[in-house]
Amino acid sequence: MLYLQNLSKAYRTDTVETTALNAVNIEIRQGEFAAIMGPSGCGKSTLLNIIGMLDTPSSGSYLFKGEEIAGYSEAKLSDIRKENIGFIFQSFNLIDELTVYENVELALLYHKIGREERRARVEAVMAKVGIDHRAGHRPAQLSGGQQQRVAVARAVVSNPALILADEPTGNLDSHHGAEVMDLLQTLNREGTTIVMVTHSITDAGRAKRVINLLDGHVMAEGLRAA
């Protein structure tokens, strides 16, 4: 699905240059569930942002579905991102003024989908993640685990080929974190490709493959038993 070759990212100011990623080579195949691990500052979030087309590499190649996108404009990247990628963030990133239903539906408003189809898809995905009974509530009325379920629903309602999860259980207790990881594993078994950044060894153990970063380099990769 995606292939990064000799990909680097440097941030420059007038006086200093910081290398966040250095000659990274990673391939993620369709249907994989990969966890990216490493200490703070090792380049995990930068890597996820580049994979998600929220940031661009300084050098190197990025093939997405066989298409070289490293030099694309932000408008072109936005179109590809909108059609292919769902995001799950540690901080949920829900809109407080909207209901659960409206937060999930928001992901479909950027697509040419009629109202009735939107309703059907939103209701189906809310039921799938077990949040349909909270459709009329606002985020402040939900527990952290429930809010993350809404975020998962929003990420998958457009049927993306790829889900990027940045510390998806970082703000949750162990019980609610396990529930969110159960959801991600279910989505992966159904065919969705998932790339997850995590500090949690337990969460990484749910993935099929672990990629370890250190100082902007891929230090090790390993497959886990299914």
Band of residue 17 on the pLDDT scale cut at 50, 70, 90: confident
* Mean pLDDT (whole number) for 6-11: 93
User: What's the mean pLDDT when you consider all of the chain?
Assistant: 91
Residue 208 has pLDDT above 90, yes or no: yes
Q: Record the pTM.
A: 0.88
Q: What angle do CA 118, 124, 127 make, to 5 degrees?
A: 135
Per-residue pLDDT, 44:
92
Residue 107 has pLDDT above 80, yes or no: yes
* Mean pLDDT (whole number) for 33-52: 92
Percent of the chain with pLDDT over 90: 66
Question: Which residue in the block uniquely carries the two structure tokens 């190649």?
Answer: 61
Band of residue 29 on the pLDDT scale cut at 50, 70, 90: very high
Band of residue 224 on the pLDDT scale cut at 50, 70, 90: low
* Mean pLDDT (whole number) for 75-98: 91
Residue 225 has pLDDT above 80, yes or no: no
CB count in 10 Å sphere of residue 201: 10
Q: Convert the pLDDT of each residue in 135-146 to its tens digit.
A: 999 999 999 889
